[in-house]
Amino acid sequence: MSLTPSGPSLPPDLWSTFAQLARQRLILAEPRLHERRHISCGGSGTVGFRSWQELARSIQEFDVRWPSEEPDLRALVARAQNTVPELERRPSCAVVGNSGRLLQHEHGAEIDKRDLVIRFNWGKTDGYEKHVGTKSHVRIYNGPYVSQKQPGEITLAEIRDPALREWVRKRNREEAEHAFAFDPEFLCHVWDWVGRSGEKPSTGLVGVVLALNICASVDVFGFHYEDYFDPNIQPHYYDWERPKVGREKAHPFEREYQLYQQLESARMLQMH
């Protein structure tokens, strides 16, 4: 386990979820497609596929070269960055959201001090370096996307449903060796952190739980969900695109905010 809670104790249910984190598979690999059992949260908004067989059938006509075993994400990042992996040492990590409030702060230098930086969707650094830094190692997509926004990134896609087919097409077309998909059971586990409330966990929470799994320390920047739906505040630091109507009901944002407060009190992460 990468982090040990200190400070106020976690509630029993949250402690139990945390204790299961080290056993989770992060990245989808070939052996999963041959399992004959149901996905624990299958048939939900979090994972649409009900079983591993259903997932495998959805892409059976494609030539997909999945990893033969689950790769170590830190090793993938090191290879993409042309550096030597230090698998015996867990990195310090920055998880950088896309809140427009980032423009009110100059976190760039602080973010770039971290060994590993996780970003989301279309979050970019060009032109915003003093606010969000320059480094980017892992990019998490909430849909079937594979492209790197910056050289040397590993991309991880949340494939919840038949959009997996589109992700496979794009990955094959672009020969995107840097592109991987989350193991669906990891997404189920992330949902457990909020008691499976809401339709599905936010992509931000997926990134935070990923960091708790692989990092020695976790600093979170630009997570201000309350601004996302305020028409008077820029939703993203890089654009004014508004979320679709009803989006605020899909994710359990208030429960996630409470979770971050609990984790910060337990000194498992720091919010900025």
Write the pLDDT tens digit of every residue in 43-84: 999 999 999 999 999 999 999 889 999 999 999 999 999 998
Angle at 253 between CA 250 and CA 256, to 5 degrees: 125
Residue pLDDT, tens place only, 92-129: 999 999 999 999 999 999 999 999 999 999 999 999 99
pTM of the model: 0.94
Q: Looking at the DSSP assignment, which residues form a beta bridge with residue 210?
A: none
Angle at 226 between CA 153 and CA 255, to 5 degrees: 85
Q: What does the block give as tokens for 255?
A: 């429960």
Query: Judging by DSSP bridges, how do beta strands 270-271 and 217-221 pair with one another?
Result: parallel
Give the torsion through C-alpha atoms of 133, 117, 39, 161, to 10 deg: 30
Q: What is the CATH number of domain 12-271?
A: 3.90.1480.20
